[in-house]
A and B are shown apart, each in its own frame.
Chain A
Amino acid sequence: MKQCINGAIAFIALLTLSACQSVSDQWLSSGLQGANATVAYWLNSAEQHRLSPEQLKQLPGAAVYAKLGDNATATMVLSEIEQTPDYTVKRWVTQNEALVTRNGRVIRTQGLTTNRIYTAKQETDPLGCWQQNVNRSKHPCPALWRSVADVQNNQGRVERMHSAHQLSWQQRTEVTTPLRGAIPTRVLAEEVSLLTHHGNTTTTQHWVNRYWISISDGTVVRSEQQLTPHADDRIVISEARY
């Protein structure tokens, strides 16, 4: 009888323990469910600055180098990708920052001092068309794109920007990448005119974005883009691991 009771106590203790385990798991879960191997690897890595080619080889997935203004270069890993015949959206992350690109254009940022939180009229953005026609001397792609974007400053306030983008081909050149070597590209220049309304006054700013587009597959290997009206928010993104 005593043995039986002892057995019962042990069984009950086991049941209690297993029930507690299922409860504590809810709280211990780090939220990494569904993350792909790259992100999981990356979030557990101590080193998140510019990785060497040897270190890049250790990464399980794609990565880019990103340098914002005078800040140090960061290596960002691909966390999500959405591909359709018309566009490719990629989400690049570090532990604290994120960039979302559509056909290589930065359409949203997170975790920076000033963030682009919304880009409108993406469906009429001709950048993807220019990429697909990188090898043609004549192409059907519109040269002008008008868009609207919202930018959020470090106090959380949002400003709306109206922009006009004029695209044109420039020279052909090679871009050196850490793992794939020199890649022949064609440079697409984008002259941006930005209108910002401050009460009754309107200011205009101009700058040039550049995209180095691979001649072999039309991907953007490197780009220089200004994300907000502030010249400090100019970002250089280049292929680290394809």
Chain B
Amino acid sequence: MSSRVQWVIVVLALSSLLQIKHAVAEQKTPLSAAIVITGDNATLQALQFYGEPRLHDLITRVPNAHQMYWRSARLCTPELQNKLELKRKALIVQLNLLAGIYQRNDKPALSQQAQLLKQQIQQWPLLATIQHGIEPDNLLGTPRDNWRLNPRYSHYSLVISDAPEGTHDVGLSHEMSEGERFEVDQSGKVTPITSENAWQLMLQPGSHVFTGFARSQLPAGFSDINHRAVELLRYWQPGKALKQPSSPCQA
């Protein structure tokens, strides 16, 4: 038996022990989760799961599940929320730059609009989510949708809101800017609103209608700024108004 073989054996033994330790730790460390119902019947329920919980295990703990507006469901983790906040900061920086460019180019009205949009986005109640809405009724029949709650995330928050009322205008004033417009619905789907489809587009309950800058007004390097704002808007927490804080994502 050469010393090389002995080393291989030692390495194999150590890796096996590490794998076992990891598997045991996964079994013993509970997965932390919370169910947050906002609105008229606000409740907060803290949960712990052992083993290998799946989405179905979490949603079966929702009280009065049959009365919930599942399209509004969001699944947040602190790690995703941090990433979302970084995206927001990056957009704020871009809007600051844009306001400065407009100012230098002697376009004070546009500069002011960039500042207004920046201030508004700072106050959007954003909540990161793994998916927009849950279809809870046949999760056991669709294993792909019934994914496993990953223990790499420190905590899961399932946030559900009341059924929405009406639609909400956000962004710039449509009359002032004549900018690009988008409908962002509660399922996270983005639909551009154009002069061709505006007349027939029936806005959906809970949708946000975003008005951004006109494309022709955007300087080089900023052409995607409306889309970046809309991407953030997809994470507006249902049931929350501007300036309201979003529900906590942490344990």
* Contacts from A to B (Cβ < 8 Å): 1-2, 5, 8-9, 12, 15-16, 18-20, 22-23, 26, 29-35, 39, 43, 79, 82, 89, 91, 93-100, 102, 107-108, 110-111, 117-118, 120, 122-123, 148, 150, 152, 156-160, 198-199
Q: Could you pull out 12 A-B pairs where Cβ atoms are within 8 angstroms? A: A16-B15, A23-B19, A32-B143, A39-B140, A43-B140, A93-B138, A93-B140, A93-B141, A107-B66, A111-B138, A118-B69, A150-B205
Identify the 7 closest CB pairs spanning chains A and B, nearest first.
Answer: A98-B137, A19-B19, A31-B143, A31-B146, A15-B16, A98-B138, A158-B204
Chain A's interface: helix, strand, loop or mixed, by majority? mixed
A31-B69 contact, Cβ under 8 Å, with A157-B202, A158-B204: no
In angstroms, Cα B66 to Cα A120, docked, is: 10
Minimum CB–CB distance from A95 to chain B (whole Å) comes to 5
Asked if residues B57 and A108 are in contact (CB atoms below 8 Å), the reply is no
Asked if residues B202 and A198 are in contact (CB atoms below 8 Å), the reply is yes
Contacts of B9 in A (CB 8 A): 5, 8-9, 12
**Which of A19, A82, A99, A110 lies in contact with B16, CB distance below 8 A?**
A19
* Contacts from B to A (Cβ < 8 Å): 1, 9, 12-13, 15-17, 19-20, 23, 52, 54, 56-57, 60, 66-67, 69-71, 135, 137-141, 143, 146, 148, 163, 185-187, 189, 202, 204-206
Asked if residues A29 and B16 are in contact (CB atoms below 8 Å), the reply is no
**Which of A22, A34, A97 lies in contact with B23, CB distance below 8 A?**
A22
Contacts of A91 in B (CB 8 A): 137
In angstroms, Cα B12 to Cα A12, docked, is: 7
In angstroms, Cα B111 to Cα A161, docked, is: 43
Closest to B17 in A: A15
**Which of B70, B137, B202 lies in contact with A159, CB distance below 8 A?**
B202
Asked if residues B52 and A26 are in contact (CB atoms below 8 Å), the reply is yes
Minimum CB–CB distance from A34 to chain B (whole Å) comes to 7
Told that A20-B19, A107-B66 touch, could you supply 19 new A-B pairs with CB distance under 8 A?
A15-B20, A16-B12, A16-B16, A19-B19, A31-B56, A79-B138, A95-B141, A96-B138, A97-B138, A108-B66, A118-B69, A118-B71, A122-B67, A123-B67, A148-B163, A152-B71, A156-B187, A158-B204, A158-B206
